[in-house]
A and B are shown apart, each in its own frame.
Chain A
Amino acid sequence: GENVEQHPSTLSVQEGDSAVIKCTYSDSASNYFPWYKQELGKGPQLIIDIRSNVGEKKDQRIAVTLNKTAKHFSLHITETQPEDSAVYFCAASASGGSYIPTFGRGTSLIVHP
């Protein structure tokens, strides 16, 4: 089955800095890669996703990149703000096999004002 590894487990940055979270996956059939943000006391919320037919997707201060050859994908947050502080999860799923997203371990992002 799919295995998703996520790094780092904790990331501490100053407000205004950029933050990068990286994930790798094992199943070459995976073709959908969502990112979830979990704020304290809430469930994970989808913030951005990317499909395997594109290499990069951007939404304001958030961008995701995908390297299918290397089987890794990354979340980039620019101009970080304190409200970006949360746990971020990457996930991978395949439309041709098990549809169920496999999650990474999560990254706790702390943005210091």
Chain B
Amino acid sequence: EPEVTQTPSHQVTQMGQEVILRCVPISNHLYFYWYRQILGQKVEFLVSFYNNEISEKSEIFDDQFSVERPDGSNFTLKIRSTKLEDSAMYFCASSEAYGGGEKLFFGSGTQLSVL
């Protein structure tokens, strides 16, 4: 069964450093998403991406965040200058279509720890 893969599974970084989280969505999917989950809290939407541009983004997704599809398979989330409060599990997801009621397929997540 096709799956979304994320690397690394764990990332430890110092406050102020840049991190790049990587995702390989399911190959025939066209829509990509990043979510995050701070320990004990809700799974929060960050951004959705289609056709090489952002479709929607939440208030969390401020100027320190950016997304990119650098090639035909990878989808990345960059955090420019990490803060302690960025520590969370980051999930990548993809879907075939977009428009409400679309099934999202999630990766296993990257646990980001900012020290």
Contact = CB atoms under 8 A, between A and B. Distances in A.
Contacts of B6: 43
Given A43-B91, A105-B42, A99 B102 contact: yes
B62 to A, nearest CB: 17
Given A100-B45, A100-B56, A103-B43, A42 B101 contact: no
Nearest to A52: B101
Which size bracket describes the interface of B in this complex?
Answer: 20 to 34
Interface string A30-69: 0110101000011111100101000000000000000000
Contact of B100 (A32, A45, A104): A32
A88 to B, nearest CB: 12
Contacts of A49: 101, 103
Contact of B42 (A36, A93, A104): A104
A64 B48 CA distance: 27
Contacts of A80: none
B106 A43 contact: yes
A31 B101 contact: yes
B43 A106 contact: yes
B51 interface: no
Which size bracket describes the interface of A in this complex?
Answer: 20 to 34
Contacts of A103: 35, 42-45
A99 B108 contact: no
Contacts of A4: 42
Contacts of A51: 101
Interface of A: 4, 31-32, 34, 36, 41-46, 49, 51, 89, 93-96, 98-106
Interface of B: 4, 6, 33, 35, 40-45, 48, 56, 91, 93, 98-109
18 contacts: A4-B42, A31-B100, A31-B101, A32-B101, A34-B104, A43-B4, A43-B93, A43-B106, A44-B106, A45-B105, A51-B101, A95-B101, A99-B100, A99-B102, A100-B56, A101-B104, A103-B42, A103-B43
